[in-house]
Amino acid sequence: MEHAGEAARIGVFVCHCGINIGGVVNVPEVVEYAKTLPGVIYAEGNLYTCSSEGISKIKEGIAKHNLNRIIVASCTPRTHEPLFRAACEEAGVNRYLFEMANIRDQCSWAHMHEPEKATEKAKDLVRMAVAKARLLKPLEEPEIDVTPSVLIIGGGISGMTAAFCLANQGFKVYIVEKEPELGGMLRHIHKLCPSMEDASQGLDHIVNTVNSNKSINVLTSTVVKQVKGFIGNFEVAVERTNGETTNFEVGTVIVATGAANFEPIGMYGYGEYSNVMTQLQLEKLLKDGQLKKPEKVVMIQCVGAREEKGRTYCSRICCMTALKNAMLIKELYPDTDVYVLFRDLQAYGTHYEDWHRRAQDAGVKFIKYVLEKPPQVVQGENGKITINVYHALLDEQVKISSDLLVLSTPLIPQEGTKELSQKLKVPVGSDGFFFEAHVKLRPIDFATDGIYVCGTAHSPKDIAESVSQAFGVASRAAIPMAIKRLRVEAITAMVDEGLCTGCGTCIRLCPYSAIQKDEKGVARVTSVVCKGCGTCAASCPERAITMGHFTDEQVRAQALAALGRVFA
């Protein structure tokens, strides 16, 4: 059905959202109001427009009243627009002839205690949507081909796991590792909790699996120089340490760059006394069999983590690392006293909670300290370190003289995370780790299509959790590659060649590098790269750029309607 030239026949569906909206906004009143607006042929209220019943009502409305513009006044397009658009399309109305009015997040939730004013505002929002909907034009989504190959950045356990899983599914894999060999952080780890197997055992097996798979192209001592393009068609340039560059094309990109370990310089005598070290340094001593028998060992948790300001986050794995190493020391030297100074012991799930108990049974001593009164270190005699700590459960100061002070420091964002995030145009969060598309339901996708994240690049986590996410991205990345062809968003910028003077403002401002100058010297938008942000249209001095679905005319009509201007 083509609706471009027809007069608007608008249907308005106002959602109660249970009592989320209906408990504040007088929905029947909004429905009656909508019916009075020009162009509105039909309006109704629904308990939940997003329920299968509500979706049927939209489709029925379209069929029965020959509607060609649909408005749902409900919640946010962020979660629900795809659903309603699909319903329109199934009923024969172009999906871009749909408009949403957010009368929940922007109305009933915000004005919970003023129901009458909220109802008036809901009417305003519906009037604005109607003003815009009258001017909506159908848009067609371009289709693109997807290259069935994937770039995985990072050759640690996460990257390697994703690599062999995708290769086994029939996709070509490029795995880029900046170090001379695969393995990542795991290469520096001694034993693994909770099975206590050697880290090298599983690691060697996976490295061999990856190296021997013919579909996996392993590029070590290599970094990503540039990634251009969009889902299905990324152009990648990588550079070896010897300066050699290689270019290839992939359909998807996986970020598995891992994390680094925080070095606590200047904290608790680290860097000053030789017997103060991090857990990672202790791992090395244990791995190399170099740990001489200490009489006493003190471990301090949350060194540089869960701070009041700065690194406020919990690094998740340090408590278990401390327990593991404490038990290993007890195993080597049963009469060595091991003290763990902790704030809240993050032993979670089934295995770790068990480990906590086993450590207690093995004689590891736990002292709870509080953020306000952290342990103090004073150098003692004979290379001993003396630690004063306020024992929160005894409510007294305790002094321990120890041969070894081990600091449990957090995982921090990998070096170069910021630069890579800029190359890929994906965000990092306030903690400096890569930031996913949606914390709850899109934990391993980026908001940018075709780019995914897994492992400790996303946040601190243990091996099983990293591996779970790595298999997860192997599914997410496989989806576009398996179906080979994709429809992409049609809300993009369009340049009026007659008005464009070729000043290049838009080219400089486009965050997605979607605009180039063509042979005529005017701006040309590569629509599959364009994300429809509108920066170019807003900044064009000649007003030569129009945004589909957000044309000046449409936005102006909406704004005038907001000011109460009744349109005809």
Partner 1 sequence: MKAKQSVLVIGGGIAGIQASLDLANRGLKVYLVEKTPSIGGRMAQLDKTFPTMDCSICILAPKMIECLRHPNITLLTYSEIENVSGSVGNFRVKVVKKPRFIDEEKCTGCGECAQHCPTEVPNEFDMNLGIRKAIYVPFPQAVPLKFTIDEENCIKCGLCQRTCKAGAVDFDQKPEITNLNVGAIIMATGFELFDARRISEYGYGRYRDVLLSLEFERMLSASGPTGGHLMKWSDGHVPRRIAFIQCVGSRSLKGGVHFCSSSCCVYATKEAILVREHNPECEVYIFYNELKVFGKGFQDFVTRAQDEWGVKYIRALPGEVVENPETHNLTIWYEDTKENVTKNIETDLVVLCPALVPRMSNKELAGILTLELDEYGFFKPRDMLYTPVDTNVPGVFICGYCQGPKDIPESVAQASGAAARAAEAIALKASGGVH
* Contact between residue 55 and residue 70 where contact means Cβ atoms under 8 Å apart: no
Count of residues that interact with partner 1, criterion CB under 8 A: 79
**Among residue numbers 178 through 237, which ones bind partner 1 (CB under 8 A)?**
192, 194-195, 197, 202, 206
* Contact between residue 523 and residue 502 where contact means Cβ atoms under 8 Å apart: yes
Per-residue x/- track, 168-187, partner 1 (CB under 8 A): xxx-----------------
Give me the residue label for tokens 């599983």: 202
The 10 Å Cβ neighbour count of residue 41 is: 16
The alpha helices in 186-298, defined as continuous H runs, are 199-212, 279-287
**Among residue numbers 124 through 143, which ones bind partner 1 (CB under 8 A)?**
none
Q: Which amino acid is at 509?
A: L
Query: 530 — alpha (psi -120 to 50), left (phi > 0) or beta?
Result: beta
- Which DSSP state fits 142? P
Nearer to partner 1, 34 or 189 (CB): 189
CA neighbours closer than 13 Å in the CB half-sphere of residue 389: 27
Nearer to partner 1, 471 or 550 (CB): 471
* Contact between residue 97 and residue 126 where contact means Cβ atoms under 8 Å apart: no
**Among residue numbers 108 through 127, which ones bind partner 1 (CB under 8 A)?**
none
Q: Which stretch binds partner 1 (CB under 8 A): 221-229, 306-314, 373-381, 537-545?
A: 306-314
d(Cα 134, Cα 394) in Å, to the nearest integer? 72
Nearer to partner 1, 74 or 558 (CB): 74
Min separation Cβ 37 and partner 1, Å: 27
Give yes or no for residue 357 binding partner 1 (CB under 8 A).
yes
Nearer to partner 1, 442 or 543 (CB): 442
- Which DSSP state fits 154? -
Nearer to partner 1, 468 or 551 (CB): 468
* Contact between residue 216 and residue 173 where contact means Cβ atoms under 8 Å apart: yes
Nearest of 292, 259, 299, 294 to residue 278 by alpha carbon:
299
Nearer to partner 1, 428 or 522 (CB): 428
Give yes or no for residue 511 binding partner 1 (CB under 8 A).
no
Selected from 393, 519, 541, 564, the binder of partner 1 by CB under 8 A is 393
Selected from 351, 365, 423, 517, the binder of partner 1 by CB under 8 A is 351
Q: Which pair of structure tokens corresponds to residue 37?
A: 């607006």
The 10 Å Cβ neighbour count of residue 260 is: 16
**Among residue numbers 426 through 485, which ones bind partner 1 (CB under 8 A)?**
431, 433, 438-444, 454, 458-459, 463-465, 467-476, 478-479, 482-483
Q: Which amino acid is at 251?
A: G
d(Cα 292, Cα 276) in Å, to the nearest integer? 14
Min separation Cβ 326 and partner 1, Å: 17
**Among residue numbers 66 through 95, which ones bind partner 1 (CB under 8 A)?**
75, 79-80, 82-83, 86
Selected from 41, 260, 362, 392, the binder of partner 1 by CB under 8 A is 392
User: Is residue 32 within a helix (H) or strand (E), and if so which, with residue range?
Assistant: helix 27-35
Selected from 23, 92, 271, 511, the binder of partner 1 by CB under 8 A is 23
Min separation Cβ 471 and partner 1, Å: 3
**Among residue numbers 28 through 47, which ones bind partner 1 (CB under 8 A)?**
47
Sign of torsion over alpha carbons 69, 73, 74, 79? positive
Min separation Cβ 438 and partner 1, Å: 8
Q: Which amino acid is at 354?
A: D
**Among residue numbers 316 through 335, which ones bind partner 1 (CB under 8 A)?**
316
Q: Which pair of structure tokens corresponds to residue 409?
A: 């420091």
**Among residue numbers 249 through 278, which ones bind partner 1 (CB under 8 A)?**
none
Q: Which stretch binds partner 1 (CB under 8 A): 239-247, 266-274, 285-293, 338-346?
A: 338-346
d(Cα 185, Cα 190) in Å, to the nearest integer? 11
Give yes or no for residue 310 binding partner 1 (CB under 8 A).
no
Q: Which stretch binds partner 1 (CB under 8 A): 65-73, 93-101, 391-399, 510-518?
A: 391-399
Selected from 19, 63, 332, 378, the binder of partner 1 by CB under 8 A is 19
